[in-house]
Amino acid sequence: MLDTPVDYDSLNAAGTIMGSGGVVVMDESTCMVDFARYFLDFAEKESCGKCVPCRLGTKQLLQILEGICAGDGRPGDIELLEELGRGIKAGSLCGLGQTAPNPALTTIRYFRDEYEAHIYEKRCPAGVCKSLISYYIDPELCVGCTLCLPSCSSGAISGEFKGVHVIDQSVCTKCGMCIIKCPPKVSAIEIISPKLELPKPVLEEVA
């Protein structure tokens, strides 16, 4: 959609607004569910609380998004986000409430597969949501330089000089410092998001 004209009508049709004209550029390393959560957190804090749809609606949207990012997403959450979002947009009194659901609605519209991965597979494709990822040291790449050891404040990494290091997943806080310290030429540490298949709901027609 890079050819989308930057004018009010075109952006509105795409599900966004002109705003102040600022543009944020992201790549596949950005989790779109976490992205929506970040902006809903802002909108929820900015709500003046005068009207119920905005005051309670943004809070509910944020709670659902936080749950999905934490690995607690449930079947039906996507549809609930869409229903709540439409209600908030229609019932809010000011521009904040009328546009607050946009991050959730448009990320679902264009990146629904990421929401489904979080909910049904319990994984974060971008490797961002801490509850859905693990840090792993590839034993075939690790050279035992020990640079990652002092960087781990939780003491989750163990290993000897020139020996293969391992990360204790029960202790790891997923701060990411080990990846930063691992020499680029080695790059033995990677983020993995294990795929756990959960059954998707079967929608039946009710006469």
Residue 204: is its pLDDT beyond 60?
Answer: no
- What pLDDT, in 10s, does the model give residues 100-118? 999 999 999 999 999 999 9
CA dist 24 and 13 (Å) reads 18
- What pLDDT, in 10s, does the model give residues 36-95? 999 999 999 999 999 999 999 999 999 999 999 999 999 999 999 999 999 999 999 999
User: What's the pTM value of the predicted model, to 2 decimals?
Assistant: 0.79
Residue 196: is its pLDDT beyond 60?
Answer: no
Top-tier CATH class for 133-194: alpha beta
User: Helix 102-120 and helix 32-46: axis angle, to 10°?
Assistant: 130
Domain coordinates of the chain in residue numbers? 26-120, 133-194
- Looking at residue 197, what is its pLDDT? 55
* Annotation: CATH topology of 26-120: de novo design (two linked rop proteins) (1.20.1440)
N-term to C-term CA, the chain:
40
